[in-house]
Amino acid sequence: MDTPPHTPPLSSLDSLHIDYCDFAYEHKGPIRMAVTDIGDTTAKTFAELLSGSLMDVYVGMSRRHWALHRNILCHHSIWFQKQVEQGIMKNGGKDVSVELFDDDPRAFELLVKWLYQGRIDNVSDMPMDKKWDFADACQQLYLLCDKINLIQLKNSAIDQFRRGCNEAGLVPGPEEMKLIYEKTPPSSPFRKLISEIAARQIMDPESKSDASTYRQCFEGSPDFAIDVINAIKAGAGGSLFQDPTEEDGCCYHEHPLGQRCDSSLRK
């Protein structure tokens, strides 16, 4: 993470009708698994979501384990619905599990809170020494939600990330930026965000960062280089550099350190 400059309609998925049958229980007709805010569901629907069997989810290299209600997972995510369907086809519905070894358990903790409560924590309510860690977890949450296609939670995650960076006075470093470009599509708003952060760091006269700070990002992703350059152009406000073909020619000559060309050779 780096220190930044000192200057301080969600599309609805309700039209998707998903019928989910829990094979471990008597089927009494399809349950409509519309993707809605869990806080807006009726008591009856919420109780149905908390019924049925559980699904094991293993997250991170440590294989941290959660046992979560299948119904509530499928209520929120088509991705989890497909995992259940594939598990049923594979082993008759027994011991259906999901492995997310490439994801961060901190991010999954936030996902679980949102699945059951419809919200995540607010970084503004946290002490200063916790803000950056939470912002970093929200970056990981964004990547997880991008994988399982939870648009509403992705938007919350990027909002909390931005706010956490601002309140902590820190921004992601090259390693974190590189990860975003490795795990998101070209159209990702998170790419736009971090390329603009990098552009601002490079252009800020008080920042220790320059273009070389992001060498590994440039080498790893041509898209990052393009996005940063375009962000610098947009942020320059239409200012044009001096024409290099009109400058003192000595600027482009080779000579010993500290020396300059004879004035008669400068043109």
pLDDT along the chain (267 residues), means of 10: 51 35 37 59 91 92 95 92 84 78 97 95 97 97 95 96 96 94 95 96 89 93 95 83 78 76 60
* CB distance 65 to 58 below 8 Å: yes
Rounded-to-integer distance, Cα 57 and Cα 49, Å: 17
| CATH number belonging to domain 1-171 | 3.30.710.10
Count the Cβ atoms, other than its own, within 10 Å of residue 192: 13
- pTM comes to 0.79
167-193 per-position pLDDT tens digit? 999 999 999 999 999 999 999 999 999
Res 198: pLDDT: 95
From the number of C-beta atoms within 10 Å of its C-beta (0-12, 13-18, 19+), residue 183 rates as middle
Res 2: pLDDT: 65
Strand runs (DSSP E) across the chain, as ranges? 19-20, 31-32, 54-59, 64-69, 97-100
Res 242: pLDDT: 81
* CB distance 134 to 162 below 8 Å: no
Domain ranges of the chain: 1-171, 174-238
Rounded-to-integer distance, Cα 30 and Cα 147, Å: 26
